[in-house]
A and B are shown apart, each in its own frame.
Chain A
């Protein structure tokens, strides 16, 4: 009896072991061909194939990007073209959507396995560059492809950490038929912040209850930053995050105006404002028909367009004495500082924005191509949503100020801005107290930045 039990148990254990090792084996074969930074390269150079010419040596580049499915398909096609043109280079693509991308990248950075080439966004590039994850690309010759002043503008601490892929700009989208029906004067090019607030009040007077001309942007730090810079003050974060400027007069004026607008019901009440979810057809402020205007970029306006086709028109961000809004690339390709194939990666980067065949494959999947030559060839094929994106750019260009990204270490401040100003919206915090709190935290972070 005793033995019988033990034997059964042993059998069970053996079964377990077998399943485990089967799993392990299956996984390993998968692991090998994809870990681009594993010493597979050095292993093969020690093997008989050591006499391979230097130029023709087979290299496998890891490349990672985020995006919607159309971008995935187009990029895979472009990679295929590259391999056709350069048979020695093959790719290990790794692609996903936005959220997952930024969750995964820290793990890759921590384990020093960031792929050779990676897509970067203006919101994150500062942190990744500051921590040494990205390679300096200043020596890449892009003359005749990208305007040198554009490149200069993108440099972080004098170095270029990503080559720009597309033109992006900030604008304001508005619901044209609804505004026309209510007899409200449509927003005009280069309108000012005063026009903007007057527009909100006019809309209040002419729209039925529960509909609004503008949304409440009290809790959006970038809106306030546009206001502060449009009025000639320094941006909130400057000097690579070492200087912090929160102009008290402008801050008080901006937020008192919104407080007033909330009282006049010219913007939605706080609980309504915070229940909006952009790009969700059920909760988007514009798609639900509740708010007539909303922020939109060249990159994001297509999503809005798909929810309310043929109803959208665009205008620039309100301006002030210094200008307003921004027009700049916010999406980049970078090279990992740990890459063992830096030269190959850089060559690929340049190809990516210059090769006509690549341009045809990639189309508008990353926005309006930065390279004017490529853009020209694509212009005739543009769809209405692309044209709208282009219009955002054209509207912004004349008065555009630089793009001010979140400087390194400042994501915490941005989050604090949001929650503090939400307190103001609900009347739980005074504007004065909010100023003190935000200014103190901002100065602290700036002082800590190297």
Chain B
């Protein structure tokens, strides 16, 4: 009996809350279907939906359609997510569980790299990549993810690993596992929620990273979705309908990814049982 009422109220509350959160997005869907002269009207839905914002926006350039830009971006994302998840886990395990020389110093440096605004390192970094001939390629965008995926993720996983009971490691050590074995067979599976989190964030954040992408990608052939979207916004002329339509589509992959991935961090370790 007592179970039913909280469920009801939970559902009601969650529905209302979701609607409040999503309301601007609903407006966005409506606006993306409006012709230019209707956009200033308060009505949320256009008098006659202009689907051409989507079809023309998708094929806005004579050379490449958004199919091409989405493919480019997804390809880049595969590299980013794979590199980020695997290397961040490795590095984090090293910092969290292995007591090596100068660990504290390296960890402090890791954190410090997050505190310097990228605006001042991006130019020297560009010069560096340019000098080794890697400009106008995805390397400067993908490579950093293979080097620990960034301090944010390393620190995140470190915190998760530190939350895992030590007795598990000790039990495994007694069974004859090395640090490597413990990492692969015990810690790696246990931090799955954190890894899924890393995957989602890597995906979402590199999808949006306009500044780095505009610097490192020059040929339109290599353009990502974020760059293609900016093509709609020139100094005076802004293709509003197409811009709103395409930018709405551009968040969909992230939404789908989140929807599919969440069950992995929701399961957590609760079901696996703890006692080793």
The reply, when asked whether chain A contacts chain B directly with Cβ atoms under 8 A, is yes
Chain A interfacial positions (CB closer than 8 Å to B): 1-2, 4-6, 8-9, 12, 16, 19-20, 23-24, 26-28, 30-32, 34-35, 38, 66-69, 72-73, 76, 94-100, 103-104, 106-107, 110-111, 113, 279-282, 287-289, 299-300, 302-303, 306-309
Pull 16 A–B residue pairs with CB atoms less than 8 Å apart, ordered by A. A2-B181, A5-B180, A5-B185, A8-B184, A12-B86, A20-B83, A24-B139, A31-B134, A35-B136, A97-B233, A97-B235, A100-B214, A100-B230, A107-B126, A287-B40, A288-B40
Q: Which of B39, B127, B137 contacts A282 (CB 8 A)?
A: B39
Pairwise interchain contact A69-B230, C-beta atoms closer than 8 A: no
Nearest chain-A residue to B172 (Cβ)?
A1
B87 at interface, CB cutoff 8 A: yes
B117 at interface, CB cutoff 8 A: no
Q: Which of A19, A32, A100 contacts B146 (CB 8 A)?
A: A19
Query: A2-B177, A5-B181, A288-B40 known; A30 and B127 CB under 8 Å?
Result: no
Query: A30-B136, A94-B219 known; A281 and B37 CB under 8 Å?
Result: yes
CB of A38, distance to nearest CB on chain B (Å): 7
**Binary contact track B219-243/A, C-beta < 8 Å → 1, others 0:** 1101000010011111111111000
Q: Which residues of A contact B222 (CB under 8 A)?
A: 30
Bound complex: CA A104 to CA B136 (Å): 12
**Binary contact track B49-84/A, C-beta < 8 Å → 1, others 0:** 000000000001111000000000000000100110
Pairwise interchain contact B214-A103, C-beta atoms closer than 8 A: yes
Query: A5-B178, A309-B37 known; A35 and B234 CB under 8 Å?
Result: no
| Interface SS of chain B | helix
Q: Which residues of B contact A279 (CB under 8 A)?
A: 236-238
Pairwise interchain contact A9-B183, C-beta atoms closer than 8 A: yes
Query: A5-B183, A103-B211, A308-B37 known; A98 and B86 CB under 8 Å?
Result: no
Query: A1-B181, A4-B181, A281-B240 known; A38 and B133 CB under 8 Å?
Result: yes
Q: Which residues of A contact B39 (CB under 8 A)?
A: 281-282
Pairwise interchain contact B181-A303, C-beta atoms closer than 8 A: no
Query: A1-B178, A8-B180, A26-B138 known; A69 and B133 CB under 8 Å?
Result: no
Q: Which residues of B contact A308 (CB under 8 A)?
A: 37
Bound complex: CA A66 to CA B232 (Å): 12
Pairwise interchain contact A23-B40, C-beta atoms closer than 8 A: no
Q: Which residues of A contact B62 (CB under 8 A)?
A: 73
B262 at interface, CB cutoff 8 A: no
Pairwise interchain contact A16-B178, C-beta atoms closer than 8 A: no
Pairwise interchain contact A27-B178, C-beta atoms closer than 8 A: no
CB of B199, distance to nearest CB on chain A (Å): 16
Query: A99-B230, A100-B230 known; A303 and B236 CB under 8 Å?
Result: yes
Q: Which of B40, B86, B215 contacts A104 (CB 8 A)?
A: B215
**Binary contact track B177-216/A, C-beta < 8 Å → 1, others 0:** 1111111110000000000000000000000001100110
Q: Which of B37, B63, B181, B218 contacts A34 (CB 8 A)?
A: B218
Bound complex: CA A122 to CA B199 (Å): 45
Bound complex: CA A25 to CA B90 (Å): 25
Bound complex: CA A69 to CA B63 (Å): 11
Pairwise interchain contact A303-B219, C-beta atoms closer than 8 A: no
Q: Which residues of B contact A27 (CB under 8 A)?
A: 134, 137-139
CB of B157, distance to nearest CB on chain A (Å): 16
Query: 14 additional contacts, CB 8 Å, given A8-B180, A110-B126, A113-B130?
Result: A9-B184, A12-B86, A16-B146, A26-B138, A69-B60, A72-B231, A97-B235, A100-B214, A104-B215, A111-B131, A279-B237, A282-B39, A289-B40, A309-B37
B16 at interface, CB cutoff 8 A: no
Bound complex: CA A73 to CA B231 (Å): 12
Q: Which of B40, B146, B177, B211 contacts A20 (CB 8 A)?
A: B146
Q: Which residues of A contact B231 (CB under 8 A)?
A: 68-69, 72, 96-97
Q: Which of A5, A31, A110 contacts B184 (CB 8 A)?
A: A5
Bound complex: CA A106 to CA B211 (Å): 12
Bound complex: CA A281 to CA B162 (Å): 52
B135 at interface, CB cutoff 8 A: yes
B143 at interface, CB cutoff 8 A: yes
Query: A30-B219, A280-B240 known; A97 and B139 CB under 8 Å?
Result: no
**Binary contact track B99-141/A, C-beta < 8 Å → 1, others 0:** 0000000000000000000000011001100110111111100
**4 interchain residue pairs of minimum CB distance:** A5-B181, A27-B137, A5-B180, A281-B39
Q: Which residues of B contact A97 (CB under 8 A)?
A: 230-235
CB of A150, distance to nearest CB on chain B (Å): 22
Bound complex: CA A310 to CA B86 (Å): 59
Bound complex: CA A35 to CA B129 (Å): 12
Bound complex: CA A19 to CA B184 (Å): 20
Bound complex: CA A302 to CA B185 (Å): 64
A19, A23, A106, A307 interface centre (most CB from chain B within 10 Å): A23
Q: Which of A12, A31, A69, A288 contacts B137 (CB 8 A)?
A: A31
Query: A19-B79, A35-B135 known; A2 and B178 CB under 8 Å?
Result: yes
CB of B230, distance to nearest CB on chain A (Å): 5
Query: A5-B182, A279-B238, A308-B37 known; A96 and B227 CB under 8 Å?
Result: yes
Pairwise interchain contact A281-B36, C-beta atoms closer than 8 A: yes
Bound complex: CA A5 to CA B182 (Å): 8
